[in-house]
Amino acid sequence: MALSKPVRTIWDIPREERFAPGHTMCQGCGAAIIMRHLTKVIGKDAIIVQATGCVEVTTTAFPRTSWLNPWLHLAFENAGAGASGVEAALKALKRKGVIDPNRKIKVVAIAGDGGTFDIGLQSLSGMLERGHNVMYVVYDNEAYMNTGIQRSGATPLGAWTTTTPVGKKLRGELRPKKDLIGIALAHRIPYIATASPAYPTDMVEKLRKAYETEGPSLVHIISPCTPGWRIRNEDSVKVARLAVLTGMWVLLEIVNGKPRVTVKVPKRKPVREYLRLQGRFRHLTDEEIARIQKMVDEYVEEINRWVGEQAIGPVEG
Partner 1 sequence: MSLTLEKKEERKELRQVVSKRIAATGNYAAALAVKDADVDVAAIYPITPQVQIAEKIAEFVANGELDAEVIHVEGEHSALSAVVAAAATGARAFTATSSQGLEYMHEMLYIASSLRQPVVMALATRALSAPINIWNDYADAFGMRETGWIMLFSENVQEVYDNLVQAFRIAEHPDVLLPVVVTLDGYILSHTIEPLEPLGREEVLSFAPKRPRGYRPVLDPDYPITVGTLGTPHWYYEAKYQQVVALRESKRIIEEAGREFGKKYGREYGLIEEYMMDDAELAFVSLGATASLVKAAVDRLRKEGIKAGMIKLRVLRPFPVDEVVKALENVEAWATLNRTISYGAAIEEPLFTEIAAALAVRGIVKPMASFVHGMGGRDIFVREIVEMYKKLDEIRKSGRKVKRTYFWGVKGHDPEEDQAM
Partner 2 sequence: MSIKDEGFKRYLGKKYPETWRDMPIAAIVPWPGNTAEVKTHAWRTIKPVIDQDKCIRCRLCWTFCPDGAILEVDEEYKTSSGRVFKISYKVDYDHCKGCGICAAECPVNAIEMVPEER
Interaction site with partner 1 (CB under 8 A): 44-47, 49-50, 56-57, 60-63, 65, 67-75, 77-78, 80-86, 88-93, 95-96, 98-99, 105, 122-123, 125-126, 129-130
- Pick one of partner 1, partner 2, none as the site partner of residue 202 (Cβ within 5 to 8 A by kind): none
Q: From CA 123, how far away is CA 134, in angstroms rounded?
A: 13
**Who contacts 11 (Cβ-Cβ below 8 Å, separation ≥6)?**
none
- Closer by beta carbon to partner 1, 125 or else 310: 125
Pick one of partner 1, partner 2, none as the site partner of residue 30 (Cβ within 5 to 8 A by kind): partner 2
Q: Among partner 2, partner 1, none, what does residue 33 contact (CB within 5–8 Å per kind)? A: partner 2
Residue 92 binds: one of partner 2, partner 1, none (C-beta under 5 to 8 A by kind): partner 1
Q: How far is the CB of 120 from partner 2 (least distance, A)?
A: 23
> Which of the listed partners (partner 1, partner 2, none) does 181 bind, with a CB threshold of 5 to 8 Å by partner kind?
none
Q: Which does 89 bind (CB under 5 to 8 A by kind): partner 1, partner 2, none?
A: partner 1
Q: How far is the CB of 21 from partner 2 (least distance, A)?
A: 4
Amino acid at 264: K
Contacts of 217 (CB under 8 A, 6+ apart): 134, 135, 136, 189, 190, 191, 192, 193, 209, 210, 211
Pairing of strands 252-255, 258-261: antiparallel
Inter-residue contact 223 to 34 (CB < 8 Å):
yes
Q: Which residues have CB under 8 Å from 2's CB, separation 6+?
A: 41, 42, 43, 44, 45, 46, 104, 106, 208, 211
Q: CB of residue 294 vs partner 2: minimum separation in angstroms?
A: 31
Binding site for partner 2 (CB under 8 A): 10-11, 13, 15, 17, 19-25, 27-30, 32-33, 36, 59-60, 62-69, 99-100, 103, 105, 197, 200, 226, 232-238
What is the C-alpha to C-alpha distance for residues 244 and 274, in angstroms, rounded to an integer?
A: 9
User: Which of partner 1, partner 2, none sits in contact with 91, Cβ below 5 to 8 A by type?
Assistant: partner 1
Residue (of 182, 204, 211, 189) closest to 69 by Cα position = 211
* Residue with smaller CB distance to partner 2, 35 or 300: 35
If the CB atoms of residues 36 and 151 are measured against partner 2, the closer one turns out to be 36
Backbone angles phi, psi at 193, to 5 degrees: -150, 155
Q: Quick one: 68 or 295, whose CB is closer to partner 1?
A: 68
69 within 8 A of 42, measured Cβ to Cβ = yes
Least distance between partner 2 and beta carbon 23 (Å): 5
> Of 9, 80, 34, whose CA–CA distance to 222 is shortest?
34
